[in-house]
Protein backbone atom coordinates (compact mmCIF):
# COMPACT_ATOMS: atom_id res chain seq x y z
CA UNK A 1 0.00 0.00 0.00
CA UNK A 2 2.84 2.36 0.91
CA UNK A 3 4.45 1.74 -2.48
CA UNK A 4 1.20 2.59 -4.25
CA UNK A 5 0.88 5.77 -2.20
CA UNK A 6 4.48 6.74 -2.98
CA UNK A 7 3.94 6.07 -6.68
CA UNK A 8 0.75 8.14 -6.67
CA UNK A 9 2.52 10.98 -4.82
CA UNK A 10 5.47 11.05 -7.19
CA UNK A 11 3.09 11.06 -10.18
CA UNK A 12 1.14 13.92 -8.63
CA UNK A 13 4.39 15.81 -7.95
CA UNK A 14 5.53 15.24 -11.54
CA UNK A 15 2.15 16.50 -12.83
CA UNK A 16 2.36 19.58 -10.60
CA UNK A 17 5.91 20.32 -11.82
CA UNK A 18 4.87 19.93 -15.45
CA UNK A 19 1.90 22.26 -14.96
CA UNK A 20 4.17 24.90 -13.37
CA UNK A 21 6.81 24.60 -16.13
CA UNK A 22 4.19 24.85 -18.89
CA UNK A 23 2.45 27.72 -17.08
CA UNK A 24 5.75 29.62 -16.94
CA UNK A 25 6.22 29.23 -20.71
CA UNK A 26 2.59 30.10 -21.48
CA UNK A 27 2.53 33.18 -19.22
CA UNK A 28 5.77 34.45 -20.76
CA UNK A 29 4.15 34.11 -24.17
CA UNK A 30 0.84 35.56 -23.00
CA UNK A 31 0.62 37.06 -19.47
CA UNK A 32 -3.19 36.76 -19.70
CA UNK A 33 -3.12 33.00 -20.43
CA UNK A 34 -6.12 31.25 -18.88
CA UNK A 35 -6.20 28.04 -16.84
CA UNK A 36 -7.80 26.37 -19.91
CA UNK A 37 -4.86 27.40 -22.11
CA UNK A 38 -2.37 26.17 -19.54
CA UNK A 39 -4.20 22.83 -19.17
CA UNK A 40 -4.26 22.32 -22.97
CA UNK A 41 -0.57 23.19 -23.30
CA UNK A 42 0.28 20.80 -20.45
CA UNK A 43 -1.76 18.03 -22.06
CA UNK A 44 -4.05 17.58 -19.06
CA UNK A 45 -7.70 18.23 -18.34
CA UNK A 46 -8.76 21.37 -16.45
CA UNK A 47 -9.69 19.29 -13.42
CA UNK A 48 -6.06 18.19 -13.04
CA UNK A 49 -4.83 21.80 -12.99
CA UNK A 50 -7.51 22.81 -10.48
CA UNK A 51 -6.62 19.76 -8.38
CA UNK A 52 -3.20 21.33 -7.77
CA UNK A 53 -4.14 25.01 -7.87
CA UNK A 54 -7.61 26.19 -6.76
CA UNK A 55 -7.48 29.24 -9.06
CA UNK A 56 -5.26 31.17 -11.45
CA UNK A 57 -4.06 33.50 -8.68
CA UNK A 58 -2.79 30.53 -6.64
CA UNK A 59 -0.92 29.17 -9.69
CA UNK A 60 0.64 32.55 -10.43
CA UNK A 61 1.49 33.12 -6.78
CA UNK A 62 3.37 29.78 -6.72
CA UNK A 63 5.28 30.74 -9.89
CA UNK A 64 6.15 34.13 -8.42
CA UNK A 65 7.37 32.52 -5.19
CA UNK A 66 9.54 30.12 -7.21
CA UNK A 67 10.89 32.96 -9.35
CA UNK A 68 11.76 35.05 -6.30
CA UNK A 69 13.46 32.06 -4.64
CA UNK A 70 15.48 31.36 -7.82
CA UNK A 71 16.41 35.04 -8.13
CA UNK A 72 17.50 35.20 -4.50
CA UNK A 73 19.56 32.00 -4.80
CA UNK A 74 21.26 33.21 -8.00
CA UNK A 75 22.01 36.60 -6.46
CA UNK A 76 23.55 35.00 -3.35
CA UNK A 77 25.50 32.35 -5.27
CA UNK A 78 26.91 34.94 -7.65
CA UNK A 79 28.56 37.04 -4.96
CA UNK A 80 29.38 34.32 -2.42
CA UNK A 81 32.99 34.38 -1.28
CA UNK A 82 33.86 37.38 -3.51
CA UNK A 83 35.62 40.20 -1.67
CA UNK A 84 35.75 42.88 -4.37
CA UNK A 85 32.36 44.71 -4.46
CA UNK A 86 32.57 45.40 -8.22
CA UNK A 87 33.23 41.72 -9.01
CA UNK A 88 30.48 40.66 -6.59
CA UNK A 89 27.95 42.96 -8.30
CA UNK A 90 28.99 41.76 -11.78
CA UNK A 91 28.83 38.09 -10.76
CA UNK A 92 25.38 38.49 -9.20
CA UNK A 93 23.99 40.20 -12.33
CA UNK A 94 25.43 37.48 -14.57
CA UNK A 95 24.02 34.77 -12.27
CA UNK A 96 20.59 36.40 -12.27
CA UNK A 97 20.70 36.50 -16.07
CA UNK A 98 21.06 32.70 -16.13
CA UNK A 99 17.47 32.53 -14.81
CA UNK A 100 16.25 35.41 -16.99
CA UNK A 101 12.99 33.62 -17.93
CA UNK A 102 11.85 33.52 -14.31
CA UNK A 103 12.92 37.15 -13.89
CA UNK A 104 11.00 38.08 -17.05
CA UNK A 105 7.93 36.44 -15.55
CA UNK A 106 8.14 38.72 -12.49
CA UNK A 107 8.36 41.77 -14.73
CA UNK A 108 5.56 40.60 -17.05
CA UNK A 109 3.21 39.92 -14.15
CA UNK A 110 4.18 42.96 -12.08
CA UNK A 111 1.52 45.18 -13.64
CA UNK A 112 -1.09 42.44 -13.84
CA UNK A 113 -2.26 39.78 -11.40
CA UNK A 114 0.47 40.25 -8.81
CA UNK A 115 0.99 43.85 -7.76
CA UNK A 116 4.45 45.39 -8.09
CA UNK A 117 4.29 46.10 -4.37
CA UNK A 118 3.76 42.39 -3.67
CA UNK A 119 6.78 41.46 -5.78
CA UNK A 120 8.89 44.20 -4.19
CA UNK A 121 8.01 42.87 -0.74
CA UNK A 122 9.02 39.35 -1.74
CA UNK A 123 12.33 40.68 -3.10
CA UNK A 124 13.12 42.75 0.04
CA UNK A 125 15.84 40.34 1.32
CA UNK A 126 17.62 40.43 -2.08
CA UNK A 127 17.42 44.23 -2.09
CA UNK A 128 18.87 44.44 1.43
CA UNK A 129 21.84 42.32 0.34
CA UNK A 130 22.37 44.59 -2.67
CA UNK A 131 22.21 47.72 -0.52
CA UNK A 132 24.81 46.28 1.87
CA UNK A 133 27.14 45.39 -0.99
CA UNK A 134 26.73 48.81 -2.66
CA UNK A 135 27.26 50.59 0.66
CA UNK A 136 30.52 48.70 1.18
CA UNK A 137 31.65 49.54 -2.37
CA UNK A 138 30.86 53.23 -1.83
CA UNK A 139 32.68 53.26 1.53
CA UNK A 140 35.75 51.59 0.00
CA UNK A 141 35.79 53.95 -2.99
CA UNK A 142 35.22 51.10 -5.47
CA UNK A 143 31.94 52.76 -6.45
CA UNK A 144 31.27 56.46 -6.86
CA UNK A 145 27.75 57.85 -7.00
CA UNK A 146 25.84 60.91 -5.82
CA UNK A 147 23.11 58.45 -4.78
CA UNK A 148 23.04 56.73 -1.39
CA UNK A 149 23.22 52.92 -1.51
CA UNK A 150 19.43 52.28 -1.20
CA UNK A 151 18.67 54.61 -4.12
CA UNK A 152 21.51 53.13 -6.18
CA UNK A 153 20.10 49.63 -5.57
CA UNK A 154 16.77 50.86 -6.94
CA UNK A 155 18.51 52.24 -10.06
CA UNK A 156 20.22 48.87 -10.58
CA UNK A 157 16.89 47.06 -10.29
CA UNK A 158 15.26 49.35 -12.86
CA UNK A 159 18.28 48.98 -15.16
CA UNK A 160 17.89 45.20 -15.20
CA UNK A 161 14.18 45.54 -15.98
CA UNK A 162 14.94 48.00 -18.80
CA UNK A 163 17.50 45.59 -20.33
CA UNK A 164 14.93 42.78 -20.15
CA UNK A 165 12.42 44.96 -21.96
CA UNK A 166 15.03 45.82 -24.59
CA UNK A 167 15.46 42.07 -25.22
CA UNK A 168 11.67 41.58 -25.38
CA UNK A 169 11.42 44.42 -27.92
CA UNK A 170 14.19 42.93 -30.09
CA UNK A 171 16.67 45.77 -29.43
CA UNK A 172 19.23 43.44 -27.84
CA UNK A 173 19.92 39.71 -28.19
CA UNK A 174 19.41 37.52 -25.13
CA UNK A 175 23.01 36.28 -25.58
CA UNK A 176 24.44 39.80 -25.20
CA UNK A 177 22.01 40.92 -22.51
CA UNK A 178 23.69 39.51 -19.40
CA UNK A 179 27.06 41.02 -20.26
CA UNK A 180 25.51 44.36 -21.22
CA UNK A 181 23.41 44.45 -18.04
CA UNK A 182 26.45 43.76 -15.82
CA UNK A 183 28.53 46.48 -17.50
CA UNK A 184 25.65 48.98 -17.36
CA UNK A 185 25.02 48.31 -13.65
CA UNK A 186 28.72 48.77 -12.84
CA UNK A 187 29.00 52.01 -14.81
CA UNK A 188 25.85 53.29 -13.06
CA UNK A 189 27.75 52.70 -9.81
CA UNK A 190 30.62 54.87 -11.06
CA UNK A 191 33.02 52.17 -12.27
CA UNK A 192 34.84 53.46 -15.41
CA UNK A 193 33.36 51.86 -18.54
CA UNK A 194 36.68 50.36 -19.67
CA UNK A 195 37.23 48.71 -16.28
CA UNK A 196 33.64 47.47 -16.12
CA UNK A 197 33.86 46.00 -19.64
CA UNK A 198 37.18 44.30 -18.90
CA UNK A 199 35.94 42.82 -15.61
CA UNK A 200 32.73 41.43 -17.11
CA UNK A 201 34.59 40.01 -20.14
CA UNK A 202 36.96 38.20 -17.77
CA UNK A 203 34.07 36.76 -15.74
CA UNK A 204 32.14 35.80 -18.88
CA UNK A 205 34.97 33.78 -20.48
> For residue 15, what pLDDT band results from cuts at 50, 70 and 90?
confident
> For residue 139, what pLDDT band results from cuts at 50, 70 and 90?
very high
When mean pLDDT is compared across 8-12, 57-61, 120-124, 136-140, the lowest value belongs to 8-12
Q: What is the mean pLDDT of residues 111-124?
A: 67
Q: Please determine, for residue 71, whether its predicted confidence score (pLDDT) is greater than 60.
A: yes
pLDDT of residue 7: 57
pLDDT of residue 4: 46
Query: With a threshold of 0.75, does the pTM exceed it?
Result: yes
What pLDDT, in 10s, does the model give residues 80-101? 889 999 999 999 999 888 887 6
What pLDDT, in 10s, does the model give residues 23-66? 988 888 888 889 999 999 988 888 889 999 999 888 988 888 88
When mean pLDDT is compared across 111-120, 130-139, 192-201, the lowest value belongs to 111-120
HSE-up (13 A, CA, CB side) for residue 164: 21
Calculate what percentage of the chain has a pLDDT beyond 70: 87
> For residue 107, what pLDDT band results from cuts at 50, 70 and 90?
low
Distance in angstroms (rounded) separating the CA atoms of residues 193 and 23: 39
Amino acid sequence: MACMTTGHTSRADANRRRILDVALAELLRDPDASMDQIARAAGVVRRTVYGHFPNREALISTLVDEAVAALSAAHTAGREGVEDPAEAVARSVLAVWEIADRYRLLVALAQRTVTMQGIRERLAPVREESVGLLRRGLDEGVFSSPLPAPALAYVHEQTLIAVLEAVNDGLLTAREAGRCAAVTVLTAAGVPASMATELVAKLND
